[in-house]
Structure 1
């Protein structure tokens, strides 16, 4: 028996499991009649399976109240004449409740509350995917930060727009936390650290309300990166340890790998060569063990892979002054980057240029620096800072040379053209 497919679809749209629908129906009966309902999971199971094809009495009233529509709209059989066993219950209800209750029930049917369901969650997730795509293309922009923060507020406003199951409410909070974590990351990427800390605190609260380990990992992992960029390796390590301590890092080696790789970058900032090498070796081992087909959040799928691991290694070994090893990881990163990773490509290219320069390979260093896409070179705060430091270091290493002149002329023309 296929069961009541219409009811199943309605439950899926709202996010109701059978026990949750039973609870909602009992709450509805309490509102309608003033007496607690006694709808059981078995009753709901019979409704879904098709064993009950024409609900009557309190069951019918509860269904229509919860879904805000008629039995026919829920896939049940209907009749112009109520079943005999239904009439006494209806008459008792209206006799004891009186005309006020009858009016309230009618008004409730006309103004049924909005039900927040899976379609609302899917809409939030599509918006989140667009934020992720925009970040990978542009990165660090204030407009991305502001848009992500506004979408977080929109998600929270959805909580007050209607009723929902606890599962759906948790997903709404998780979406709000995800948007806020993207605002946090845009602020980190744009070197607006005080704003990033503000977004972080809100995101952490929302993630706790969502009870979502994936978004908790993202927020605390971002926090570790933020403190690393702020030159606070002890705080960075503490924050990243929170992310690494979540149970999902034991279930999925991909999350374990990301946590280890970011910890290695923190060790690099702290100047600990041994710990840096050990953590990267462990991160490499974990990513090779990870199931590439496992289900993961869109933000994880969109950015973490072998190329990102090598990008973190490039950063760490630059910090340690191991420029040959840094350049090695930089070329590996650039050869494996996916086409949509515009921001990552610009950052890796600027870092490779610096690694080449520090090894005395001035001509390839200048060529690498000049290959950074112009839109990133003049708009992304991190890339601007890297190329500025590159120019200053080039002038210190090879002052007055033809290559130094070439770079300075290129930089002036680029900035003037795009000003």
Structure 2
């Protein structure tokens, strides 16, 4: 790459959208950012030219030196063309176009009569084809303007917040966090302003509960797109507000999600502690379904730690608790309503898959049962289960079934905006790659590699 003409060698903006890159940017891990750039052929010299750093500085950062100075981070972001928001940096005057200042000037800097006149003239020009608009400008957001929040709220206002959370959660289940995370975070920013409104104590407690669950969803969708730092921040706030609202069931659910974040990040002992803390809250809430969910995930953690005895013991308790919850026939809280027989089978399938190969047949049976009983709206869960089942089938030597299931898993994963799904394809890719003498297995491995690189 010719680095002597840096302006002609701008980095493709699509690079910043890749899950691994977004994760590194969110953490301001410049060593990871620079390393990822090098992997796609961008040299240290080119990085140095774009960021106004010396090559020795780039080398030191790649070796682990942290970049802490806000001014330097801003210069790096601007030089490489990184949207500042991806690194949690404020926009400066030079970034005004990215936040829609140019768009707002057409209508926001004049009185109403003038705005209407301009809009009519513009509409006429577009209608008859005299003006077509600026295609580059369409990719830029309009200037942000806060929606007015009420000064006094009642229970109906809180119920509206809860309804929005349920709607966005359904989108997350079906399409992945990448489709709705920004909407969740934006809605949360508005919902939090209701804390300044006048209301009764009963409404205030219900509002804190609603906000806790919205932070819960913001944390979960952040996790799903690989933004682990923001995920932890939202989940920590969710736990605080759930406890303030005296809702132990919701607090237990937040602790479950904290555990899942760390289980995914291979911090298994930390995940186990979160699951065990969650059980304390779930028992305080007398919520057997939540206890079952936490015990099942505790079993998964024990399996990854190689403790089959404790894993199987936790599975047994999870089954008993879910049976009690089903016998009570009580409508579960919305944040745990997803956990039923299919999820228990799926999690237990992961437990058995994590034990010795002697348990693979049981793992296959449980994962198959989970897929067969899975609600069609839970697309992401189905993708996880297909991926796990295909991996188990390949490991057990059933190549035909494993390749067929694997292809279905890859096709579904490509439709969902979830970094977690992409990460969870890695064991399947490894299992397929190991079948070096099977052309179909190698083809499956290549298709997974393409999806993971996209």
Task: Determine if the TM-score, normalized by the shorter chain, exceeds 0.5.
Answer: yes
RMSD (Å), alpha carbons: 2.4
2:65 alignment partner in structure 1: none
**1:30-109 paired onto structure 2 within 5 Å:** none
Distance verdict in 2 for CA 1:295–1:248, change over 3 Å = farther
2:144 alignment partner in structure 1: none
What is the rounded CA distance, in whole Å, between the counterparts of 1:238 and 1:385 in structure 2? 23
2:355 alignment partner in structure 1: 320
What is the rounded CA distance, in whole Å, between the counterparts of 1:384 and 1:230 in structure 2? 14
**Would you say 1:337 and 2:374 are equivalent positions?**
yes
Query: Does the aligned pair in 2 maintain the 1:155–1:173 contact within 8 Å?
Result: no
2:420 alignment partner in structure 1: 382
SS, match of residue 376 in structure 2: coil
**Would you say 1:233 and 2:233 are equivalent positions?**
no
* Among candidates 396, 407, 419, match of residue 444 of structure 2: 407
Query: Does the aligned pair in 2 maintain the 1:149–1:183 contact within 8 Å?
Result: yes
How far off its partner does 1:375 sit? 4.7
Query: Does the aligned pair in 2 maintain the 1:249–1:256 contact within 8 Å?
Result: no
What is the rounded CA distance, in whole Å, between the counterparts of 2:273 and 2:448 in structure 1? 39
Query: Does the aligned pair in 1 maintain the 2:282–2:290 contact within 8 Å?
Result: no
SS, match of residue 245 in structure 1: helix
Distance verdict in 2 for CA 1:219–1:286, change over 3 Å = same
Distance verdict in 2 for CA 1:280–1:247, change over 3 Å = closer
What is the rounded CA distance, in whole Å, between the counterparts of 1:189 and 1:292 in structure 2? 32
TM-score by length of 1: 0.67
2:230 alignment partner in structure 1: 195
How far off its partner does 1:247 sit? 5.4
Query: Does the aligned pair in 1 maintain the 2:410–2:447 contact within 8 Å?
Result: no
How far off its partner does 1:174 sit? 1.1
202-211 or 258-267, which deviates more: 202-211
Distance verdict in 2 for CA 1:296–1:415, change over 3 Å = closer
What is the rounded CA distance, in whole Å, between the counterparts of 2:402 and 2:282 in structure 1? 43
Query: Does the aligned pair in 2 maintain the 1:269–1:320 contact within 8 Å?
Result: yes
Which consecutive segments of 4 or more residues in structure 1 shift more than 6 A? Answer: none
1:60 alignment partner in structure 2: none
How far off its partner does 1:248 sit? 4.6
* Among candidates 246, 253, 263, match of residue 218 of structure 1: 253
What is the rounded CA distance, in whole Å, between the counterparts of 2:160 and 2:299 in structure 1? 37
* Among candidates 134, 140, 145, match of residue 171 of structure 2: 134
Cα shift readout 1:64-102 (whole Å, capped 9, x = no counterpart): xxxxxxxxxxxxxxxxxxxxxxxxxxxxxxxxxxxxxxx
How far off its partner does 1:188 sit? 2.3
Alignment gaps of 5+ in structure 1: 1-112
**Would you say 1:306 and 2:341 are equivalent positions?**
yes
How far off its partner does 1:245 sit? 0.6
How far off its partner does 1:154 sit? 1.9
SS, match of residue 281 in structure 2: coil
Query: Does the aligned pair in 1 maintain the 2:249–2:282 contact within 8 Å?
Result: no
Alignment gaps of 5+ in structure 2: 1-149
* Among candidates 286, 294, 298, match of residue 330 of structure 2: 294
* Among candidates 189, 192, 214, match of residue 153 of structure 1: 189
* Among candidates 350, 366, 390, match of residue 353 of structure 1: 390
Query: Does the aligned pair in 1 maintain the 2:247–2:285 contact within 8 Å?
Result: no
**Would you say 1:251 and 2:286 are equivalent positions?**
yes
Cα shift readout 1:361-407 (whole Å, capped 9, x = no counterpart): 111100001112635236432222333432232222x2142322442
Cα shift readout 1:260-288 (whole Å, capped 9, x = no counterpart): 11211111121110111111111111111
332-341 or 288-297, which deviates more: 288-297
* Among candidates 389, 408, 421, match of residue 371 of structure 1: 408
SS, match of residue 425 in structure 2: helix
What is the rounded CA distance, in whole Å, between the counterparts of 2:439 and 2:411 in structure 1? 22
